[in-house]
Amino acid sequence: MRAFNYHRPSSLKDAAALAAKQAEAKYLAGGQSLVQAMKLRLSAPSDLVDLNAIGDLKALKADGSGVTIGAMVRHAEVAASSAVQKAIPALAALAGTIGDRQVRHMGTIGGSLANNDPAADYPAAVLGLGATIVTNAGKHEADKFFKGLFETALKPNEIITQVVFPVPKRAAYMKFKNPASRFAIVGVFVADFGGNVRVAVTGAGPCAFRQADMEKALAAKFAPESVANIKVKADGLNNDLHASPEYRAHLVTVMAKRAVEAALK
């Protein structure tokens, strides 16, 4: 890890001011991706602005009207929250499959979304549920947030404060894991808002994306057979040792079908 300066502001305002002063500052949330990248010297910020002391980023609220997760809420808290389990069980279940136990105790939703790893789980839920990402500078709709590989709509030094999820009629997330890293090779989040269905895919492309053909078919009939025969185009999908674009395309269909099955259970 290269040397850096460390800051622990206690307010959002101070955090943004500190980051603005440095050319190469980065916010530190749980650190589960950033610290790893820094260890391998893939990332070398001049300054780390730790958001852990900022109290108002840690709230978690859930009821029949929506789920609001503070940016610094850990994955394990979301997974274990009975309120989230009741409001959007698929969201709690998704949080409970991110990384591993130890990672879930540190990793945060804000960190995950800001990082926008192509194989991360949360982007599938945010996009699949059409969540709103609230920041210190305003709001981002999910559909306009994920811009590309590790790229989001966040402006430099903008800080995610919370994520607001609407409650669907039913939803589910299915992922096929990379056997080594355990990140998603393909993850599909399906949410039925009663007539309006959203299908979001992670792991398969440069960032999470929606699958329009499946959404249309499921809106007509929310059933596994509606998607079982939808062939996804392999063009532009990720290619690595573990999965070719063709295999990923195939898995999108399989995981979508299984997600619908799970949502109906």
Binding residues (CB under 8 A) for another protein: these are 1-6, 8, 28, 30-32, 35-36, 38-41, 48, 50, 52, 76, 99-103, 105-106, 176, 179-182, 240-244, 247, 250-251, 254
11 or 65: CB nearest another protein:
11
Residue 10's beta-bridge partner residues? Answer: none
Q: Scanning the structure block, which residue is given the tokens 């949410």? A: 191
Minimum distance between the CB of residue 6 and another protein, rounded to whole angstroms? 4
86 or 177: CB nearest another protein:
177
Minimum distance between the CB of residue 123 and another protein, rounded to whole angstroms? 19
The one-character DSSP state at 193 is: -
Reduce the DSSP state of residue 75 to 3 states and report it.
Answer: helix
40 or 212: CB nearest another protein:
40
Minimum distance between the CB of residue 5 and another protein, rounded to whole angstroms? 6
Minimum distance between the CB of residue 15 and another protein, rounded to whole angstroms? 15
Please give the angle made by the CA atoms of 28, 33 and 39, to the nearest 5 degrees: 90
5 or 65: CB nearest another protein:
5
- Write out the E strands in the chain: 5-7, 25-28, 47-50, 60-63, 66-70, 132-135, 138-141, 146-148, 151-152, 160-166, 170-177, 184-192, 197-202, 209-210
